[in-house]
Structure 1
């Protein structure tokens, strides 16, 4: 069972850190950014994330290949807000019939897009630099997570690449049977939905079989489990977590000092 493999240089300073430390740093850094709606704090956060990327041993081209869904989502957010935003404050920039693009709408869209990227990018970096087995071991040893949860999450993570392979297999099988949408957008949408449903059903069946197989092999037993590889949480790992909190707080502080801070609540 082959899953997503880390694509970072293993000897990079931050790539060698404890998986739990990297995960905690990513979560804490992202949580701070949720508190504001302005574009300044997430823009600073993205700049910081890209600046420290070489320390994780990840190339910018590799990151772009892994994070392209974020760019697609960003385009969707901008289009949705431009077309359907209820509040259209600020100066009117473009007006086409019932659609009016204002500076306020664009500022809101920019803030949401930057915040989404700033919050999601640390997770992309963490999983690009972390082996799934090491993460499961660290969750059990350092985060005291239940072994059943950690090993189940590891198994699920290992199965993720199979979804893409199954999607391709289903599409090719339907094409071989003459089921093709052609250039009809409605037919393409219907075919996409039906393929996604077939993929979901297959994933549920595989998950059920995997759960039964794991229980049959004693993963549900109450006997304490041992781990083959030791995951140590060192002072350097604690510094990584503290540094992430400090950088996230610095981005938020800069937003407040510049007067652009817009709290999520209030």
Structure 2
């Protein structure tokens, strides 16, 4: 709820755009990045995405707070690709069980940058989009089934509650002396137990919410809308901006000769 109120009071440019327009821009950028694993196209796309964050009223600190799992996953994926990919070119590092060559390093860096360039638009989209506006756009413009839309809205609303619930469960367990001490194996076991408790709590919340929404008529055939989802000239510029980033990424990679389709074997 606090995030929704923050988005309502945010006057940043991208927060005023229609959610479907922002989603279309994200799809255009992601499509180009999904076709090739090379560092040039990913670097250009990543640079263009970083320029968009001030337009959404976001900072680097907020980006890290909301996207650190994706950033760490991209870093781990890039490192794994660099050490597991077949050697090609000059050997840069050889420690016996694995080695890194110039070709595998280039592939790993490309995977890392591509992972970041794919993850950041999703973080950007969720950070500057109010869940209720997204639900309105999905139902009114995309004509998706009402129950699917309302389920998506409920899930997005519960994400923040699950984060708070995780902290609450953790503090309750530490008050009982669970998970606050012991060897690494015991701590991992305590974390798994806390995760199970969160899963149980999430199922209970979802069940209560589903019954409540059904009782209040959310599953009815006819619906009325408190707010109308509309398109504006800003939405056209948002889609064109996504197309421009995607085109620049492809053109730069094609011009540099690094464009490498993922479904073709590079000689």
* TM-score, normalization by structure 1: 0.89
Within 5 Å, give how 1:34-183 maps onto structure 2: 34-83=34-83, 85-180=84-179, 182=181
Q: CA RMSD in A?
A: 2.2
How far, CA to CA, are the matches of 2:181 and 2:260 in structure 1?
47
Change (3 A) 1:87 1:13: same
**SS in structure 1 opposite 2:94?**
strand
- Cα deviation, 1:4-29, whole Å, max 9, x if unaligned, reads 44569733333311122112211222
CA shift for structure 1 position 40: 0.9
Instruction: Say if 1:8 and 1:58, in contact at 8 Å, map to a contact too.
Output: no
> Which segment is superposed worse, 123-132 or 52-61?
52-61
- Cα deviation, 1:131-171, whole Å, max 9, x if unaligned, reads 11111112222222222222221111111112122212222
How far, CA to CA, are the matches of 1:136 and 1:20 in structure 2?
10
Instruction: Say if 1:38 and 1:108, in contact at 8 Å, map to a contact too.
Output: yes
* TM-score, normalization by structure 2: 0.89
How far, CA to CA, are the matches of 1:56 and 1:164 in structure 2?
23
1:22 corresponding residue in structure 2: 22
CA shift for structure 1 position 52: 2.5
2:252 corresponding residue in structure 1: 254
CA shift for structure 1 position 86: 4.9
Moved over 6 A (4+): none
Change (3 A) 1:81 1:103: same
Gaps of 5+ in 2: none
- Cα deviation, 1:74-117, whole Å, max 9, x if unaligned, reads 3322443355x152323222222323222222222211111111
Change (3 A) 1:180 1:235: closer
CA shift for structure 1 position 70: 2.5
- Cα deviation, 1:172-210, whole Å, max 9, x if unaligned, reads 222222223635222222222222122122212221221
Change (3 A) 1:174 1:64: closer
Number of residues paired by the alignment?
Answer: 263
How far, CA to CA, are the matches of 2:55 and 2:95 in structure 1?
47
**Structure 1 or 2: more helix by fraction:** 2
